[in-house]
Structure 1
Amino acid sequence: MKEWSLRSVPLVNTSLQQLEAQWVIKPQLYYQRGGYFEDVIPYLPELKSYRPTPWLMNHHAHIVYLDKIRKLQKSIQYDLIETLTMADGGTTAVAWYGLNAPPETPTIVVLHTITGTTASMAELVDELHQYTKWRIALCLRRGHDGLALTVPKINLFGSTEDLTEQLQHIQQKFPESDLYAAGSSAGTGLLVRHLGEQGAATPFKAAFALSPGYNTETGFDLIHSFYSRLMAQKLKEKFLDPYHSVWQKLPVAFDLYQAKNLATFERKYFPLAGYKDYKSYCEATNPIYVFENIKIPLMILNAEDDPICHIQNLMPYKNTILGMPNLMVITTRYGSHCGFYEGLTQPKSWAHRLMSSFFMHHQHQQKDVFEKYNVMRTDIKKPA
């Protein structure tokens, strides 16, 4: 007797095929043929398919779930939060998770979002640790998470000088640990700027950029108007209100309070970052000016339905990336902004799993593979 199933009914079978075709997404991969990533792709099963949570396929629902549900549900106890004093007297911090791992265990340095805190980054920190069993170091920027603003200076994307000092502290604490980097949203700007400025001198072995915006001078113009207004308001609440006494002497403070969207805020706040004009600020911070000097493997992930870091931001640079042997961009039809959730009842981030697999594969294979493509530095000594 022939086995019966829903698929034996033509109309039902067609509907299921259509649903599966929409639900199972094959990531699009952009990389140089013959470059480093060609040998890596077969070892990362996550790149074969992404199955977005069906009830989160709407990009707004995806963001609401990330921001209003997951961030509130996810709570972790960091092992240690170290406050650091920068060379100019400014204050940053490093929040540690998995601190008691053996000294030689690799460390993933996480660079947070535009208003990131230890709480808002808990899901990424925890899942990276769960998947890899590695140590995680979340680098907190000036003015974030209640840090005292000991010097009147703040940068939405962070300072590469501050990051260098934070990395020196991490290396001095764990000199036997290989370093990897994961930047999320605005944190990708700091990550890519650092990688481009440092070139082969970066201490990172490999890096991952989650939902980057690429060119900071143009990307804000493409943000969905609702999120642009919302984020401008959050910046006022996070960085203007708590430090009102610090900024009140600056004429630009009034203009910033009047800013209706993120693009306007970003183009006016440069005095708070310590620059005389917007041009000099962009030249010193925009990652797009230096990204072609990146020498280590960098994996980049964008969703085509991202309403914050629009996929159009990638297009002017796609051909350049295709000519770089150590970069790969991955795009998916769904995923929204920094979400990429999968699973029906308890969604988890496919992106977090992907970056963990990438880092672990690199750590396992680097001695064999990287000499072939000349993208691993073996002559850099860690600080004593």
Structure 2
Amino acid sequence: MDWFGRASINFTTSPKSLGLKEKDGQETDLLKVCQAAVPPCQLNPLLFNGHAQTMWTAAKAHGPPLHYKRKIFEADHAEFNGSFAVDFAVTGPSLKEEADETLPPRTAYFTEDELSTLGSDDDKPMLVVLHGLSGGSHEVYLRYAIAPLIDSGKWEACVVTSRGCANSKITTGLLYNARATWDVRQTIKWLTKTYPNRPLFGLGFSLGACILTNYLGEEGSATPLKAAVVVANPWALHISSKMLQSSFIGHHIYQRVLGNSMRALSSRHKEELDKYTNIDTDHLLGLKYLYEFDRAYQCPTWGYPTEEAYYRDASSSDSLLAVRIPLLALNAEDDPIVSHLALPYAEASTNPYTVLCTTSLGGHLGWFEIGGGRWHGKPVCNFLNHMAFEVDLNSINDNGHGEQTYGNPKHGTSYDPIRRKMHVKLNR
């Protein structure tokens, strides 16, 4: 029972959690690491439920100040061409004067000279971050999570900006969706080449958590990332969407707020959408709710027959089955945007590489503590610091799971979590 803002915490993982070895030789496992990384969750008792926690995120809190330099990438994917932005966390005394008024606060473009000198042989861990729907590197929830890592001087970090977000420009008619993994994949490849000795880690929030989980499922053990954290992942988009539409507050507040954010994003890029697509932008900009936007934009742009088909395809709960690096997932059970019915308890209990940590309170990207702090930053930093500096990442013991496959060999069936379809071998 919750009392005075004290949330209960639960962990879900495989009966045989992923075996790990500390650098001092001590044997441990992923569950033990996660349990040690997650502190007690004492939240502000005045924000007594998920709605209060979620709505308080609209307060104009300043949060920890971070400065960024932006690099523009040209996409290397033939079909998903165009440009996208990546913001790199930077430190230095003159950054305040360098801020660009056309970009989010405390952000400027790299100069040509700075771009020419990017790269190093150092072995500092590097964090690749994905923000939430229509957000960016400036978001308060993101800065609360990564500021302690940057301020420690031991980490580097960059934020992959979803196309069109955070004052970035699009050069085609493509924005992004929850299966849009190609930009983070290209960024990770570039980081691997540019900083060959840096171990890479991942962190995603909300829709960015969905994208990151889908990327990890697609890559499996081939990803260069060593470990990752996903926070407030919506997991089963079709379930969350239906739950939102089924209540007054979900439909007329949350769906509308999310829809307004995408309408504003589309408005900023109306010229490009008119130039490169056949979408009726006047109709698009008159819509109110997120599911209406997804029907009017995501479906014709990506070829989905319905928004429900998009939600099912873009959901990441099945991708969780294919993750093959240590992954900590944080969700609040009272999150009104991510329904508790969408949380992947069964999938997490199947995969030893994943631990699902749920708190009974917290809302959607809330977790507000007394005094205004954000609890979620503590387990994020604790877990990443432990994995980067305490664990021997070359000694992972999968407890015999290996590249786990699903299906029934007796009947010639196999299941691919990424394709989300059962396959039957045909006798010819």
TM range (shorter): 0.7 to 0.9
* Match among 286, 291, 298 for residue 315 of structure 2: 286
Alpha-carbon distance, 1:234 to partner: 1.3
- Residue pair 1:306, 1:335 contacting (<8 A) in 2 also: yes
- Residue pair 1:114, 1:187 contacting (<8 A) in 2 also: yes
Determine if the alignment matches structure 1 residue 28 to structure 2 residue 28.
no
Secondary structure in structure 1 of the residue aligned to 2:361: coil
Alpha-carbon distance, 1:129 to partner: 2.4
Alpha-carbon distance, 1:365 to partner: 1.4
Alpha-carbon distance, 1:166 to partner: 1.2
* Match among 347, 370, 385 for residue 360 of structure 1: 385
After TM superposition, where is structure 1 displaced by more than 6 Å over at least 4 residues in a row?
Answer: 99-102, 374-377
Change (3 A) 1:60 1:106: same
Residue equivalent to 1:301: 330
Code of the residue aligned with 2:16 in structure 1: it is: G
Secondary structure in structure 2 of the residue aligned to 1:137: strand
List per-residue Cα deviations over 1:297-335 (Å, max 9, x = no partner). Answer: 111111121111121111xx3223211111111111111
Residue equivalent to 2:137: 118
Alpha-carbon distance, 1:216 to partner: 2.3
- Residue pair 1:206, 1:296 contacting (<8 A) in 2 also: yes
With 61-70 and 207-216 compared, the bigger mean Cα shift is at 61-70
Determine if the alignment matches structure 1 residue 66 to structure 2 residue 57.
yes
List per-residue Cα deviations over 1:139-188 (Å, max 9, x = no partner). Answer: 11211112121111111336212221111122222111111111100001
Residue equivalent to 1:86: 75
Change (3 A) 1:376 1:276: closer
- Residue pair 1:59, 1:334 contacting (<8 A) in 2 also: yes
* Match among 216, 223, 235 for residue 202 of structure 1: 223
If the length of structure 1 is used for normalisation, what is the TM-score? 0.82
If the length of structure 2 is used for normalisation, what is the TM-score? 0.74
- Partner Cα distance (2:310, 2:185) in 1: 19
Long gaps (5+) in structure 2: 20-27, 93-119, 245-249, 404-428
Secondary structure in structure 1 of the residue aligned to 2:189: helix
- Residue pair 2:18, 2:29 contacting (<8 A) in 1 also: yes
The structure where helix makes up a greater share of residues is 1
Aligned residues: 352
Residue equivalent to 2:272: 246
Q: Percent sequence identity over matched residues?
A: 20
Q: CA RMSD, aligned part only? A: 2.9
Alpha-carbon distance, 1:369 to partner: 5.6
* Match among 55, 60, 63 for residue 46 of structure 2: 55
Change (3 A) 1:41 1:132: farther
- Residue pair 1:31, 1:327 contacting (<8 A) in 2 also: yes
Alpha-carbon distance, 1:195 to partner: 0.6
Code of the residue aligned with 1:324 in structure 2: it is: N
* Match among 54, 65, 82 for residue 75 of structure 1: 65
Secondary structure in structure 2 of the residue aligned to 1:266: helix
With 258-267 and 195-204 compared, the bigger mean Cα shift is at 258-267
Alpha-carbon distance, 1:50 to partner: 1.0
* Match among 173, 178, 196 for residue 152 of structure 1: 173
- Partner Cα distance (1:290, 1:25) in 2: 28
- Residue pair 1:97, 1:125 contacting (<8 A) in 2 also: no
With 51-60 and 225-234 compared, the bigger mean Cα shift is at 51-60
Change (3 A) 1:376 1:127: farther
